[in-house]
Structure 1
Amino acid sequence: MKQMVAVVGAGSWATALAIQLANKGHTVKMWSRNEETVREINNEHQNNKYLEGITIPQNITCSGDYKEVLSGCQYVLYGVPSHSFREVIKMTLPYLSQRAVVINAAKGIEEQTLKRMSDVFNEETDGGGDKSYVVLSGPSHAEEVALNIPTALVVASKDMKSAQGVQELFMSDYMRVYTNPDVVGVELGGSLKNIIALGTGIADGLGFGDNTKAALMTRGLAEITRLGEAMGASPMTFAGLAGVGDLIVTCTSMHSRNRRAGIAIGKGKSMDEAVQSVRMVVEGVRTTRAAKGLAARYGVEMPITEHIYKVLYEGHSPREAVMSLMGRSGKPEIEEVALLNWQS
């Protein structure tokens, strides 16, 4: 069934998802606060600031008016940075229909409150009312999605029908979508992997090799899973698309903003210089500070996150941070397995 879908945001990820929806025959109305972006999408069918050279389908229109964009849409996709999510929800809430299914594509944690995006949404909507919340995540670069390169994603919601509706909305020859009831795990996996991507980028910038990258990714996944379990997520989620899948693609690809920022830091740039060199939002920078706060709140050991925080915010040397991680005292790889088997 063809739908009328609103896409709030016009960055690379929002635009790539809008293109996928339009390619399926849905009517897509995008919102952007930038007048030049609105003009370029409507008149030239381009968004060259974020997806240079990609043609935007004719069934996508863009406006700076929330009411115009959201009117009559059952599905509303939010593709704004996580630090803008609360503000944008507040501004758009009066125009959402009571039957609207909200799809969040932002991957981050609110820095000041340490809340996940679903928590922010529930706060601003007093529990959501009749509106259903679905998070979209998984291993995906906007540059590849816009080019119809086969991609697998996951949608998570507490409401099965909402998850299945969004699954059907996106499923195509080029996009396979799975459902998952674990909203906590999918949100955390999509957010925390950006921290590890900063770390693997730093290691690459220092000139270290694949061995170092593999170690950071594997041990990074271990600490992501520890925090996730402490916050009520299923450990199995982190073995899936929103966990190890997204971790692989973000830590290994030059499409990854977080990895590119990490490489710049490893080569000697400051955090601010590295972010400016990427010229787009680097979610992992804010998420590192939020994750450090969550680790303290839940009493979870996250040494990679801790050392990346020290590099970003306390001026520690990237090389010393890596060597400090290597020099930690010995321990079992999987403590639960060791305790179970060596208890006697």
Structure 2
Amino acid sequence: MIAVQEITIAILGAGAWGASLANLAIANGYTVRLWSRRGSETLKAVLQDAQIVVSAISMKGVRDVVSQVQSFPLSPETIFVTATKGLDPQTTRTPSQIWQTAFPSHAVVVLSGPNLSQEIQQSLPAATVVASSIATAAEQAQLVFSSPRFRVYTNPDPVGVELGGTLKNVIAIAAGVCDGLQLGTNAKAALVTRGLTEIIRIGNFWGAKTETFYGLSGLGDLLATCNSPLSRNYQVGYQMAGGKTLTEILANLPGTAEGVNTCEVLVQLAKQQNITMPITEQVYRLLQGEVTPRQALDELMLRDIKPEYNY
């Protein structure tokens, strides 16, 4: 491991999440440079001599920023850490797959967990997961962000860790609808549990390990996002249940609700591969204006009866 004082970290994305990660690294004594499209620092200057590059930009900007980063010289030892949750609508790739394709010889680490940035900024206790196929890269990221208030675990399943954080955003929209319609605790518990089943089903298709989804980046993140008004995806569902239009909600939402785009990509993929995803399908129909929140609920409740698991 390189000494802390010798490591420079470039964080791409100066939103709430990027700023939270920057503060964690700074508190541990690392040199941190923060880049945003609206900032005065150029991307070239921020990347210069950086041993670790952290991507905390929204999904829609990932491919563009990756192509820009490719045009600058980087050490072959540079580690990429991606903290974006989403799927690319054109390729259905995850953020880490986009980074790894562009930089095939570099280590790529996924950082994901139940991490509402507002709580982390308030120094409330939290935990997260860093995952990579290269164990030493995950361990380096673990050192950078660990603190007495932020516990960081390593995991060898980057696909599962990344998908857990991405797919739960769709279920969080449904959870917001559930609370917005005041359907009660039983309904919410059933929704979140069956939502986890959907996440595992599509995660397995992508090659993720089932046990990863029972960890912090799967079940942990699902519980946090489905139960917090701080979650933008939850707010989309909650406000739609209250009668607002999607356009109206997104126009007034601080930041990006990644679940809206993710839902569209998932429905396309599920149809292509014949994967059953009833909750995701109803969320998609709701977002498209094809059904009301109440009709979406009725569709789910009136499905054919079946075993809980297909053994």
- Partner SS, residue 252 of structure 2: helix
CA distance in 1, matches of 2:230, 2:273: 33
What residue in structure 1 maps to residue 102 of structure 2?
Answer: 124
Match of 1:202 among 177, 180, 185: 177
Task: Quote the Cα distance in structure 2 between the aligned partners of 1:323 and 1:272.
Answer: 24
Q: Does the Cα contact within 8 Å between 1:20 and 1:145 map onto a contact in 2?
A: no
Name the structure 2 match of 1:10: 14
Q: 1:114 Cα deviation (Å)? A: 1.0
Q: In the TM superposition, what whole-angstrom CA distance separates every residue of 1:235-294 from its partner, at most 9, and x where no partner exists?
A: 000000111000000000111010011111111111111212323211000000011122
* 1:205-263 CA distance string (max 9 Å, x none): 22222222111110000011011112211000000011100000000011101001111
Quote how far apart the aligned CAs of 1:64 are: 3.0
Q: Distance in 2 between matches of 1:123 and 1:25?
A: 31
Q: For 2:54, what is the secondary structure of its paired residue? A: strand
8 Å CA contact retained: 1:17, 1:146: no
Is the CA contact (8 Å cut-off) linking 2:128 and 2:216 kept in structure 1? yes
Alignment correspondent of 1:278: 253
- Write the mapping of 1:16-95 to structure 2, written as runs, cut at 5 A: 16-34=20-38, 38=39, 63-95=40-72
Distance in 2, matches of 1:110 and 1:222, equals: 23
Amino acid at match of 2:226: C
2:237 is equivalent to residue 262 of structure 1: yes
C-alpha distance in structure 2 between counterparts of 1:223 and 1:103, whole Å: 27
Asked if residue 186 in structure 1 is aligned to residue 161 in structure 2, the reply is: yes
Cα-to-partner distance string for 1:126-160 (whole Å, 9 max, x where unaligned): xx22x210010011111111122111100111111
Consecutive unaligned residues of structure 2, counting only runs of 5 or more, are none
| Cα RMSD for the two superposed structures | 1.2
Match of 1:107 in 2: 85
- 1:46 aligned residue: none
How many Å separate the matches in 2 of 1:315 and 1:275? 18
Residue 231 of structure 1 is matched in structure 2 by 206
- Residue aligning to 2:124: 149
Q: Are positions 1:97 and 2:75 aligned together? A: yes
Q: Give the partner amino acid of 1:26.
A: Y
Counterpart Cα distance in 2 of 1:117 and 1:215: 30
Name the TM-score, length of structure 2 as normaliser. Answer: 0.95
TM-score normalized by the length of structure 1: 0.86
Give the AA of the match of 1:163: A
Aligned residues: 306
Counterpart among 192, 200, 209 of residue 217 in structure 1: 192
What corresponds to 2:265 in structure 1?
Answer: 290
Quick one: distance in 2 between partners of 1:299 and 1:116? 20
Asked if the contact 1:196/1:304 (under 8 Å) is kept, the reply is yes
After TM superposition, give the deviation of residue 316 of structure 1 in Å: 1.0
More deviation, 202-211/254-263: 202-211
SS at match of 1:250: helix
Give 1:314 deviation, angstroms: 4.1
Q: Secondary structure of the residue that 2:77 maps to in structure 1? A: coil
Report if the CA contact (8 A) 2:24-2:146 is conserved: no
Once residues 137 and 271 of structure 1 are traced to their aligned partners in structure 2, the CA distance between those partners, rounded to angstroms, is 26
Per the TM alignment, residue 94 of structure 1 is displaced from its structure 2 partner at its CA by 2.7
Could you tell me how far apart the structure 2 residues matched to 1:294 and 1:157 are?
Answer: 25
SS of residue in 2 equivalent to 1:278: coil
Q: Secondary structure at the match of 1:335?
A: coil
Percentage of pairs with the same residue: 41
Whether contact under 8 Å (1:86, 1:124) holds in the other structure is no
Letter in 1 for 2:25: L
Shift of 1:93: 2.1
1:171 matched residue in structure 2: 146
Structure 1, unmatched stretches of 5+, are 39-62, 337-344
**Cα distance in 1, alignment partners of residues 255 and 15 from structure 2:** 9
Question: Contact conserved, 1:77 with 1:102, CA < 8 A, in 2?
Answer: yes
CA-to-partner distance for each residue in 1:144-180, whole Å, 9 max, x for gaps? 1112211110011111111111111111111111111
